[in-house]
Amino acid sequence: MENIEIINLWKQYDEKLEKSLSLNQKIIAELQQQKAKNALRPARNYKILVVFIGIIYSALVAYFLYHLSPILSIFINLSVGIHLLIMIIAVGMYIRQLVLISEIDRSESILYMQQKMAKLQSSTLKVIGICFLQFPVFATWNIRLELIEKNPFAFWLIQMPVIALLTYIGIWFFNNINIKNMDKRWFRMMFYGVEWSSIIKSGKFLKEIETFEKN
């Protein structure tokens, strides 16, 4: 079949549809009302919930840190402070995602808009990467100066290597949790499950867009 015949085939189909399709105006009117009420989609609702919980949690931690810091050791203060800072950054990133979602314009060109959406979805991985940076605080909050003085070997030979290892793991995950590594075994094991599938799909689609642009 020649190209012109295929175009004609499509035209015939179009003519047939012209005769057989009709709009259900009542549904269009109902749809507009119903959808307006459902403007907040599940993904956005989930992000709003996370932001809400994140703000409450951060506020509580900040409150206790502010009131209890004079009686707590410097190591607890520092550890909780780092944890709080990372939580605030993560919540801020989620808020930024919400703003970007609300700014999505579907009348942009297909490649631009799809790329933006896929990047936005995969940016959740960045938040997870940042959260890993707080790994070392799990080994620093319980350091006590008296214990270092009393038993320096235990501190330098056990606690410090643990802190160094957790710091290394945290930085490694921060650097490596990104969509470029989605085909690696550790990544697939870590992000296995339905809740991650949309992020993995976004990554795959970003690759498809890249190939489409190049070829």
Partner 1 sequence: MQQTSPDFLTLIEANKRIIFKICNSYCRNMDDREDLAQEIIYQLWKSWSSFKSEYKLSTWMYRIALNVAISFYRKEQKATPTVLMGDHVIEIADENLEEGLETNLNALQQFINELNPLDRALMILYLEEKSHKEMAEIIGITSTNVATKINRIKEQLKQKFSSR
DSSP 146-184: HHHHH-HHHIIIIIHHHHHHHHHHHHHHHHH-SGGGTTS
Least distance from partner 1 to the Cβ atom of residue 26, Å: 8
Q: Which is nearer to partner 1, 110 or 165 (CB)?
A: 110
Least distance from partner 1 to the Cβ atom of residue 16, Å: 6
CA distance 170 to 129: 8
Least distance from partner 1 to the Cβ atom of residue 51, Å: 20
Positions in the binding site for partner 1 (CB under 8 A): 1-3, 6-7, 9-10, 12-14, 16-25, 27-36, 38, 41-42, 105-114, 117, 194, 197-198, 201-202, 205, 208-209, 212-213, 215
CB atoms inside a 10 Å sphere around CB 182: 21
Q: Which is nearer to partner 1, 70 or 193 (CB)?
A: 193
Among candidates 126, 171, 150, which has minimal Cα distance to 159?
150
Least distance from partner 1 to the Cβ atom of residue 204, Å: 9
Least distance from partner 1 to the Cβ atom of residue 125, Å: 17
Q: Which is nearer to partner 1, 84 or 118 (CB)?
A: 118
Q: Which is nearer to partner 1, 149 or 213 (CB)?
A: 213
CA distance 159 to 136: 11
Among candidates 87, 89, 96, which has minimal Cα distance to 120?
96
Task: Give residue for tokens 């945290």.
Answer: 170
Contacts of 125 (CB under 8 A, 6+ apart): 177, 178, 179, 199
CA distance 179 to 4: 43
Q: Which is nearer to partner 1, 90 or 206 (CB)?
A: 206
Q: Which is nearer to partner 1, 159 or 198 (CB)?
A: 198
CA distance 39 to 55: 23
Least distance from partner 1 to the Cβ atom of residue 182, Å: 15
